[in-house]
Amino acid sequence: MARLFGTDGVRGLANADLTPELAMSVAVAAARTLVETDSSHQPLAIVGRDPRASGEMLEAAVVAGLTSAGANVVRVGVLPTPAVAYLVSQANADLGVMLSASHNPMPDNGIKLFAAGGQKLPDDLEAKIEAAVADGHGLVGRPTGAGIGRVHDLLDGAEHYVKHLVGSVPHRLEGLRVVIDCANGAASDVGPAAYEEAGAEVIAIHGEPDGLNINDNCGSTHLDAVREAVLQHGADLGIAHDGDADRCLAVTASGDVVDGDQIMAILALAMRDAGTLTDNTLVATVMSNLGLRLAMQREGITMIETKVGDRYVLEELAARGFALGGEQSGHVVMPAFATTGDGVLTGLHLMAQMAATGKSLADLASVVHTLPQVLINVKVGDRTAAASAGTVTAAVSAAEAELGETGRVLLRPSGTEPLVRVMVEAGTEEQARTVAEKIAAEVRAASPAA
């Protein structure tokens, strides 16, 4: 069986790759894998979704699978992914299921799983669930009679989540006007509500999901709309979320983009000054810009790098008790308040720092001088052989010597495609591209694509 789980759950074209039958099988396997056998305990599962039309179909399949495995289910409806994780924790549930393909186009959907406490699954648990799906163990030994799970709806989950978010904010947001791009997604209601309750003047755009328009030329992957709205309304900033609102990107009053690296830097300095940044340490992935590392060095903050993927950031945060981590893409994790990336939480704390200091977002973001970055995806015959070839490693070493401390090279075989990703940062765009193309040529020659 092909690998079922990707970097963030099970994802694919709904009703083609991700069918109701597969969703049901995953639900049964998850219930049996995540809940230890205990005849005195009937497990509890929280199930939420984003507004995609296919989510209605997949929710029905997941609920059927969970209840057939003996789990009681609480449906929370359309809510952000971090809200589902929060409710799993608050309800002492045994597992949570979020149906969303995050920033992907509407035809896709996905299944994100949470263990008790609202934690994402480690690799070993995902492997067990994959094995259970492949073996079809969920098709036998199901409970009957009173052992079948029951289904209930939680009607005030959004209110609990918003109250939690607003309660986390260290400074009120009065005096700030913000444009929120909801991506016609899961935060279309709770996002504007949270910002308003925290004191901001909110102008919401793309907040009318119809099941078909999620991420459609809007949200964190399409920033033109929020930039235009900020300029039109004279707002202090704009914030863009993705379909399930686990991301947050921002734009300044003049429309300049503030990415996840800059947001992490702003929050790291705020937390350092407040004494809440554990060991003065920030956790980020290897894809974060060198400019972030240099900025943190200047400010006396240690930066630890992980592999690409917010799951690895989460693992490092949990293992060592750090207080802040995230990705350039806008997944930012604040473990004191959330067990996963939370876009609305991030936006609230970003704005709180603006309100507390009286500084503009542009001023706060200027702590990071982002170096020009060039990424080339090289199609190859054998990605492992290409990345490890002597000619390639020699080219990388030469490039690193040329760039010194003013740039860096990252060579990374794709985990799923016949590609080697060549990323170069340098003092100028021209230098970064020249160096990247030299390395890419060596990669291509080392293992030509068929």
β-partners of residue 110 are: 11
Q: Which residues are annotated as a binding site for Mg(2+)?
A: 102, 242, 244, 246
What is the phi/psi pair of residue 338, to 5°?
-155, 150
User: Which residue from 135, 36, 150 is spatially nearest to 95, judged by alpha carbons?
Assistant: 36
Annotated catalytic residue 388: no
Q: Where are the beta strands (DSSP E) in 241-382?
A: 249-252, 257-258, 281-285, 302-306, 325-326, 332-333, 373-379
Of 102, 168, 188, 329, catalytic: 102
Give the length of the chain: 450
Q: What number of other Cβ atoms are within 10 A of residue 223's Cβ?
A: 19
The annotation places the binding site at 102, 242, 244, 246
Q: Under DSSP, is residue 45 helix (H, G, I), strand (E, B) or coil?
A: strand
**Which residue's entry shows tokens 């094995």?**
131
What does residue 180 show for φ and ψ, rounded to 5 degrees? -110, 120
Give the span between the Cα atoms of 114 and 96, in whole angstroms: 5
Distance CA 387, CA 449 (A): 13
CA distance linking residue 205 with residue 93, whole number of Å = 34
Tracing tokens 């765009």 back to the chain, one arrives at: 429
Among 178, 172, 180, 157, smallest CA distance to 80 is for: 157
Catalytic residues: 102
